[in-house]
Amino acid sequence: MESVTAKKKFCCPLHRVYWNRAEKLKAELAQIKEYNSNPFVNAARGRDKDGTNKDEAKAAKAAETPAMAPGAPKTLEELKAMCPKELTGFDRSLWIAEERKKYNL
Of 105, 102, 100, 96, which Cα lies nearest the Cα of 64? 102
Identity (one letter) of the amino acid at 83?
C
Q: Which of 4-8, 12-16, 24-28, 67-71 has the highest mean pLDDT?
A: 24-28
Mean pLDDT of the chain: 76
Q: What is the per-residue pLDDT for 105?
A: 76
Convert the pLDDT of each residue in 58-70 to its tens digit: 666 666 655 566 7
Q: What is the per-residue pLDDT for 86?
A: 92
Say which residue, 72 or 90, is predicted with more confidence: 90
Summarize the confidence of residues 1-28 as an average pLDDT. 76
Convert the pLDDT of each residue in 36-45 to its tens digit: 776 666 565 6
DSSP H stretches of helix in 7-88: 13-36, 39-45, 54-64, 76-82
CA of 68: how far to CAs of 39, 48, 74, in Å? 37, 25, 9
Of 30, 57, 26, which Cα lies nearest the Cα of 18? 26
Q: Give the pLDDT band (50/70/90) at residue 32.
A: confident
Residue 90 reports pLDDT greater than 80: yes
Domain boundaries, given as residue ranges, for the chain? 46-103
